[in-house]
Amino acid sequence: MFVDNIRIFAKAGKGGNGLASFRREKFIPRGGPDGGDGGNGGDVILEVASGCNDLRSFFYDPKLIATSGRDGMHVRKHGRNGKTMVGRVPLGTIIYRSNASSMHEATFLEREGDGIVLEQIADLTTPGERFMLCKGGMGGRGNWHFKTATNRTPSEFEYGTECEEGVFFFELRRIADAGLVGYPNAGKSTLLGAISAASPKVASYPFTTLQPIVGVVEYPNFNRVVVADIPGIIEGASRNRGLGHEFLRHIMRCQVLLFVVDMSGMEHNPIEAIATLRAEISLYSDEMATRRWVIIANKMDDEAAEENLAMLRMRFPKIEIIPISAAEKTGIEGFKTRLQELIVAETAHNIHIAELKSVREAAELAAAEEAAAEEAAAELAAAEEAAAEEAAAELAAAEEAAAEEAAAELADDETQSEQDVVPS
Ligand SMILES: Nc1nc2c(ncn2[C@@H]2O[C@H](COP(=O)(O)OP(=O)(O)OP(=O)(O)O)[C@@H](O)[C@H]2O)c(=O)[nH]1
Ligand SMILES: [Mg+2]
């Protein structure tokens, strides 16, 4: 059994409650508060373990549950901390958090509901790496912490805090530099055996390889190239024919894809085989279809191979074709050297692309910030202008009103003085 994706429920431990209690002892009157603190809940941690090859350890028991902290006790005794739960996962495991709160809800959402929403939270690509999946709750404080000069007998204490929990998806994507893609029986496993110390099963029937295998190609300069061998892909794999195309996930991270074809043409025409394999890759992932690829023309020891190779070269003039015979080990050293060159070149290219991307993103960010600053300045200037205009208008209106008022007062005074004058 090989398990490369699984859904699990994880729950950390809750924090223990603090205790409110008072020291009661003979000859010690008014012993004071002595309620101990609660213990912390255990965390759920994932660890990349070297001996772990797949996710089968979670298959029959898909849960990771840490224990809760114990409550505080009398005589200021601290409750025991919960035990941390460590889940061992293989290198290359990607962790997703789902929107479901229980396994039942996850099943419902997957089958009948609106579908499950997954958020990637980790990609464990370093040997020995640890990742905190769920944090345990904190223990609460006991009542002796709350003793003050004015309150010698506090009854307050704290409850332990809640812990994190959730439904997570683990997906294993093996880490390899190059991936072997090909029809069953093309000789992928034979090739891996010829270039590395791996000893994958080789047989003359299709689907000999049932699970991905990784081999390490060692070079005299101490360089290493990791090559992944996956089960054979056939036409319609995307519609689940053969073993389906789910295994392609294991070569998703590869820098270079090596398309292995049987040049004897006994089972499939090499040109059609390449066209079908390319189509299946595109159906699986657009991004993967843009990956650097080369053709490994295998079984060149067969008599029909040379003719087929000439036709293949005509059909794919721009694609690099490396002729070998994995079984007879001819062309293997040349292939190994070329493989190293390809990986080095592709790594440099990808780093360059990533740098360009980050430079472009930084430039875009700077431009956006500048535009925002300009907009803010323009808005500020407009607001200031509007405020100044308003203030000027108000001043003018006030002056006019004052002038009118003064004129009216003056007119009143004049009338008054006229009236004053008339009776005399
Ligand atoms: N004549 C000849 N036979 C080869 C060569 N390479 C592999 N074979 C044979 O081809 C058959 C299939 O080889 P495998 O390495 O199992 O092929 P595979 O591509 O891994 O097949 P699956 O795992 O089923 O996808 C075996 O009988 C090999 O001995 C070669 O260079 N020349
Ligand atoms: Mg095989």
Q: How far apart are CA 233 and CA 184, in angstroms?
A: 7
| pLDDT of amino acid 350 | 77
DSSP element (H, E) containing 356: helix 332-421
Q: How far apart are CA 6 and CA 169, in angstroms?
A: 6
Digit-coded pLDDT (tens) for 95-105: 999 999 999 99
Q: How far apart are CA 138 and CA 390, in angstroms?
A: 58
| pLDDT of amino acid 346 | 84
| pLDDT of amino acid 232 | 86
Q: Which ligand lies nearest the alpha carbon of 187?
A: 1
Q: How far apart are CA 13 and CA 70, in angstroms?
A: 10
Ligand 1 proximity of 184 Cβ (cutoff 6 Å) = yes
Q: Which atom of ligand 1 is nearest to the CA of 190?
A: 15
Ligand 1 proximity of 181 Cβ (cutoff 6 Å) = no
| pLDDT of amino acid 424 | 46
Residue extent(s) of CATH 3.40.50.300 domains in the chain: 178-353
Q: In the predicted model, what is the mean pLDDT of residues 403-421?
A: 78
| pLDDT of amino acid 2 | 74
**For domain 5-172, is the CATH number 2.70.210.12?**
yes
Q: How far apart are CA 370 and CA 303, in angstroms?
A: 68
Ligand 1 proximity of 325 Cβ (cutoff 6 Å) = yes
CA 117 – ligand 1 centroid, Å: 41
CA 210 – ligand 1 centroid, Å: 14
Using 50, 70 and 90 to split pLDDT, how confident is the model at 114? confident
Digit-coded pLDDT (tens) for 377-400: 999 999 999 999 999 999 999 999
Q: In the predicted model, what is the mean pLDDT of residues 111-140?
A: 91
Crossing angle (nearest 10°) for helices 305-315 and 270-284: 50
In SS3 terms, 112-128 reads as CCCCCCEEEEEEECCCC
By most ligand atoms within 8 Å of CB, the mutation choice from 180, 188, 190, 261 for ligand 1 is 190
CA 189 – ligand 2 centroid, Å: 4
| pLDDT of amino acid 381 | 94
CA 298 – ligand 1 centroid, Å: 9
Residue recorded with tokens 């809800």: 105
Q: What is the mean pLDDT of the chain?
A: 90
Instruction: Give the closest residue (by CA) to ligand 1 atom 4.
Output: 327
Digit-coded pLDDT (tens) for 34-67: 999 999 999 999 999 987 878 989 999 999 999 9
CA 260 – ligand 1 centroid, Å: 10
Helices and strands in the chain: count of H runs, count of E runs: 6, 14
Instruction: Give the closest residue (by CA) to ligand 1 atom 32.
Output: 299
Is this model's pTM higher than 0.75 or not? no
CA 200 – ligand 2 centroid, Å: 7
Q: How far apart are CA 263 and CA 245, in angstroms?
A: 23
Residue recorded with tokens 């994706």: 5
| pLDDT of amino acid 422 | 53
Ligand 1 proximity of 209 Cβ (cutoff 6 Å) = yes
**13-22, 218-227, 312-321, 361-370: the lowest-pLDDT one:** 218-227
- Collapsing DSSP to helix, strand or coil, 164 comes out as coil
Q: Which atom of ligand 1 is nearest to the CA of 264?
A: 1
| pLDDT of amino acid 326 | 94
Digit-coded pLDDT (tens) for 311-357: 999 999 999 999 999 999 999 999 999 999 998 888 788 778 878 88
CB atoms within 10 A of CB 222: 6
Pick the residue with more confidence: 311 or 410?
311
Ligand 1 proximity of 234 Cβ (cutoff 6 Å) = no
Q: Which ligand lies nearest the alpha carbon of 202?
A: 1
Residue recorded with tokens 């991004």: 287
Q: Which atom of ligand 1 is nearest to the CA of 202?
A: 16
Q: Which atom of ligand 1 is nearest to the CA of 180?
A: 19
Residue extent(s) of CATH 2.70.210.12 domains in the chain: 5-172
Digit-coded pLDDT (tens) for 139-166: 999 999 999 989 888 999 999 999 999 9
Q: In the predicted model, what is the mean pLDDT of residues 370-379?
A: 94
CB 195 within 8 Å of CB 244: no
Digit-coded pLDDT (tens) for 238-277: 777 777 777 888 888 888 999 999 999 888 899 999 999 9
Using 50, 70 and 90 to split pLDDT, how confident is the model at 423? low
Res 358 pLDDT > 80: yes
Q: How far apart are CA 280 and CA 239, in angstroms?
A: 10
The CATH homologous superfamily for domain 178-353 is P-loop containing nucleotide triphosphate hydrolases (3.40.50.300)
Instruction: Give the closest residue (by CA) to ligand 1 atom 11.
Output: 204
**118-132, 182-196, 343-357: the lowest-pLDDT one:** 343-357
Instruction: Give the closest residue (by CA) to ligand 1 atom 2.
Output: 299
| pLDDT of amino acid 44 | 97
Q: How far apart are CA 55 and CA 68, in angstroms?
A: 26
Res 74 pLDDT > 80: yes
Q: In the predicted model, what is the mean pLDDT of residues 167-194?
A: 92
**56-70, 111-125, 296-310, 313-327: the lowest-pLDDT one:** 111-125
